[in-house]
Amino acid sequence: MSDIQYIPGSCNIGKGEIKRRQFVALIGLFLSIFALVTLISVDAPTSSRIGIFFPLMMASVGYIQSRSKFCLAYGFAGTFNVGKMGDISRVASPEDRAADRKTALTILGKSFLLAALATGVVLVLPF
């Protein structure tokens, strides 16, 4: 049995879902590094470097969700999964759904900011 419980606005995923978010973060990180190496090797113009934002966003969303133990998609949908994979439940209380939506927006904002900052670093790199 999972020792993680659903806590409105704080925790809406269990161990299996957390591992899935960690995997997404790693894929995003791999794609970001691959994109950066490609940009450097082809001597891409500075303006094309902005495209690295998308894999960086993928990495940051996965990372922040796994650290927060909170899925932003579940938060927006009014669902949670703290049990086995695929065992999704509906949030019953309107107050709990509102708390989850607020947390989902916060995670989305943090992820966007992290990806934007990392993209900014790539834009100013001297290559």
d(CA 50, CA 45): 10
In a domain, 2, yes or no: no
With respect to residue 9, please indicate whether it lies within any of the assigned structural domains.
Answer: no
Stated pTM of the model: 0.89
Q: Is residue 68 part of a domain?
A: yes
Question: The domain containing residue 61 runs over which residues?
Answer: 15-120
> CA-CA distance, 81 to 35, in Å (whole number)?
33
Mean pLDDT over 95-115 rounds to 97
Number of domains within the chain: 1
Whether residue 66 is contained in a domain is answered as yes
Is there a domain that residue 4 lies in? no
Q: Which residues pair with 80 in a beta bridge?
A: 89
pLDDT 10s digits, 9-59: 999 999 999 999 999 999 999 999 999 999 989 988 888 999 999 999 999
How far are the Cα atoms of 38, 65, 83, 110, 112 from residue 58, in angstroms, in the given order?
Answer: 18, 11, 24, 12, 10
Q: Can you give the pLDDT at residue 44?
A: 86
Q: Is residue 127 part of a domain?
A: no
- Residue 6 domain-assigned? no
Residue 1: inside a domain: no
